[in-house]
């Protein structure tokens, strides 16, 4: 009888203490600058464009990079602005694309200094173009 009580008490003390040995999962930092926007639905390599089946709203701002990833492949795309229901057309800039590759939109942040210098360059180009006429 004493053995049963002893082993019962030992089990009650030792089994819960095993839970303390578990390591807490490390929180993963989410990259909010990259989002999965869709999948490649159709590829026309000869014409150099793809149709993308979009997931949710399709918002691509100026300066955002649209890219595909799949297997060992990556490519850069240039959205044309054409929409066909839930599909969006894009031109292939570079790389290899296959049906089923994930389409990601990566937001690239531009500093205020770069924005200002970019506006100056555009205004200088516009004024130079007006002088040439």
Q: Is residue 120 part of a domain?
A: no
| Among 36, 106, 101, CA closest to 72 | 101
- For residue 79, what are the domain limits? 29-101
User: Is residue 22 one of the residues assigned to a domain?
Assistant: no
Domain-embedded: residue 62:
yes
pLDDT range class, residue 112, cuts 50, 70, 90: low
Q: Residue 113: its pLDDT value, please?
A: 65
**CA distance readout (Å), 19 to 10, 14, 57:** 15, 10, 44
More confident residue, 34 or 126: 34
- What is the reported pLDDT for 38? 92
Its sign, for the CA torsion 54, 56, 61, 63, is negative
- Residue 124, domain member (yes or no): no
Does 93 fall in a domain? yes
Question: Residues 76-102: what's their mean pLDDT?
Answer: 91
Region of residue 38 (left: phi > 0; alpha: psi -120 to 50; beta: else): left
Let me know if residue 79 belongs to a domain. yes
What's the pLDDT band for 23 if we cut at 50, 70, 90? confident
Is 94 within the bounds of a domain?
yes
Nearest to 104 by CA among 79, 132, 72: 79
Whether 110 is in a domain gets the answer no
DSSP lists the bridge partners of residue 66 as 77, 105
Residue 128 pLDDT greater than 50, yes or no: no
Task: Please state the pTM of the whole predicted model.
Answer: 0.60
Percent of the residues in the chain that have a pLDDT greater than 90, as a whole number = 29
Domain count along the chain:
1
């Amino acid at each position: 009888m004493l053995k049963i009580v002893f082993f019962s008490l030992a089990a009650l003390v030792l089994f819960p203490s095993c839970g303390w040995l578990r390591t807490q999962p490390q929180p993963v930092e989410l990259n909010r600058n990259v989002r999965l926007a869709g999948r490649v639905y159709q590829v026309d390599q000869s014409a150099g464009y793809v149709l993308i089946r979009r997931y949710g709203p399709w918002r691509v701002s100026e300066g955002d990079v649209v890219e595909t990833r799949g297997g060992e492949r990556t490519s850069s795309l240039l959205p044309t602005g054409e929409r066909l229901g839930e599909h969006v057309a894009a031109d292939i800039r570079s790389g290899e694309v296959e049906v089923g590759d994930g389409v990601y939109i990566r937001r690239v942040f531009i500093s205020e200094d770069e924005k200002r210098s970019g506006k100056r360059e555009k205004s200088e180009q516009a004024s130079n173009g007006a002088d040439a006429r």
